[in-house]
């Protein structure tokens, strides 16, 4: 339907929308590497959405606690701007990183307007001195600007009869083991249990670039930053079995930088 407020013969660039962030995410993911490629794959991941004025008025979240899940519209702020150049093809990790599909047939962060959509669990709401939302299963990097919040309605938005193209099912979960030094570090932390769960949930998705998977490099050590620690791990290919993700060490991010 044509909006009468915009003349049909107006030039396409005459009307541009300006989005203003209504809040910022603070999450367990300081860096992009290691962030699950879809929401909900790491239930132990926690995040807080802190609303900013004037959107932090407690009245704006009245009634939201009745919903268990939320849609967040956000900006891929760590993805470079397109600089006016449109790239129609991307390489999804689910296709091994070496097959191209149209950008609109993917969930790649390299999008024309850098807009993302994430389904998160609403764990709680605090309204003292403003408004903030406690979230679970988050897949957003720390500092992500959020531009909209909507409640999730399962009766209309959960479609079991839908087809999902080249991503019809969740990726296979890889086994994860911890070396003794890593276990000792976790034992000394008050959040050791939840941090261990987060590490397992992130690594079992294999955060390595798709083109590196399946390669035998037993001595190569990768690093992923979660919460306030740097996690060192190896991907050990096993003949006739799933790749084993081995956590070699866990060190404070300050010490590792």
Domain boundary among 92, 124, 157: 157
**Nearest Cα residue to 232 out of 182, 190, 197, 194:** 182
Q: Is 230 helix (H, G, I), strand (E, B) or coil?
A: strand
Q: What is the DSSP letter of 179?
A: -
Is residue 1 over pLDDT 50?
no
By DSSP bridging, strand 23-27 and strand 46-51 are antiparallel
- Domain identity same for 35 and 126: yes
Three-state secondary structure of 36-58: CCCCCCCCCCEEEEEECCCCCCH
- Domain identity same for 150 and 209: no
Which residue range is the domain that position 216 belongs to?
176-256
Is residue 17 over pLDDT 70?
yes
Q: Are 232 and 249 in contact (CB under 8 A)?
A: yes
The answer to the question of residue 108 being in a domain is no
What local confidence, expressed as pLDDT, does residue 229 receive? 97
What local confidence, expressed as pLDDT, does residue 97 receive? 77
The span from the CA of 217 to the CA of 199, in Å, is: 21
What local confidence, expressed as pLDDT, does residue 14 receive? 52
- Domain identity same for 246 and 151: no
The answer to the question of residue 55 being in a domain is yes
The answer to the question of residue 95 being in a domain is no
Mean pLDDT for 28-56 is 94
What local confidence, expressed as pLDDT, does residue 145 receive? 97
Mean pLDDT of the chain: 89
The span from the CA of 75 to the CA of 73, in Å, is: 7
What local confidence, expressed as pLDDT, does residue 15 receive? 63
- Domain identity same for 34 and 144: yes
Percentage of the chain exceeding pLDDT 90: 63
CA 73 to chain CA centroid, Å, is: 12
This prediction has a pTM of 0.85
What local confidence, expressed as pLDDT, does residue 257 receive? 46
The answer to the question of residue 2 being in a domain is no
- Domain identity same for 39 and 151: yes
- Domain identity same for 221 and 180: yes
Which range, of 63-67, 121-125, 237-241, averages the lowest pLDDT? Answer: 237-241
Mean pLDDT for 97-107 is 90
CATH code of the domain covering residue 150: 2.40.30.70
Is residue 6 over pLDDT 60?
no
- Domain identity same for 181 and 151: no
Kindly give the residue spans of alpha helices, DSSP state H, lying in 122-174.
Answer: 154-157
Question: Residue 82 — pLDDT band, cuts 50, 70, 90?
Answer: low
- Domain identity same for 137 and 68: yes
The number of folded domains in the chain is 2
What local confidence, expressed as pLDDT, does residue 254 receive? 72
Is residue 217 over pLDDT 90?
no
- Domain identity same for 41 and 144: yes
Question: Residue 236 — pLDDT band, cuts 50, 70, 90?
Answer: confident
pLDDT in tens, 115-167: 999 999 999 999 999 999 999 999 999 999 999 999 999 999 998 999 988 88
By DSSP bridging, strand 222-226 and strand 145-151 are unpaired
């Amino acid at each position: 339907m044509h909006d009468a407020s915009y003349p049909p013969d107006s030039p396409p660039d005459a009307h541009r929308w300006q989005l203003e962030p209504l809040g910022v995410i603070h999450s367990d993911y300081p860096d992009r590497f290691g962030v699950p490629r879809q929401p909900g794959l790491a239930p132990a991941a926690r995040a807080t959405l802190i609303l900013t004025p004037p959107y932090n008025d407690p009245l704006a979240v009245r009634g939201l606690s009745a919903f268990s899940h939320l849609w967040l519209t956000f900006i891929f702020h760590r993805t470079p701007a397109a600089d006016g150049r449109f790239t129609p093809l991307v390489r999804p990790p689910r296709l091994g990183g070496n097959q191209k599909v149209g950008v609109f047939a993917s969930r790649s962060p390299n999008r024309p307007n850098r807009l993302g959509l994430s389904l998160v669990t609403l764990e709680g709401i605090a309204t003292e001195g403003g408004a903030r939302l406690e979230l679970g299963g988050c897949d957003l990097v720390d500092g992500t600007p959020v531009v909209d919040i909507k409640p999730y309605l399962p009766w209309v938005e959960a479609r079991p009869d839908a087809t999902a193209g080249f991503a019809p099912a969740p990726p296979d979960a890889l086994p994860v083991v911890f070396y003794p030094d890593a276990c000792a570090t976790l034992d000394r932390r008050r959040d050791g249990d939840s941090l261990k769960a987060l590490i397992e949930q992130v690594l079992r998705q294999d955060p390595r670039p798709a083109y590196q998977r399946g390669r035998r490099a037993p001595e190569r050590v990768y690093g992923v930053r979660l919460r306030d620690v740097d996690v060192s791990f190896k991907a050990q290919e096993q003949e006739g079995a799933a790749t084993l993700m081995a956590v070699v060490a866990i060190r404070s991010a300050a010490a590792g930088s």
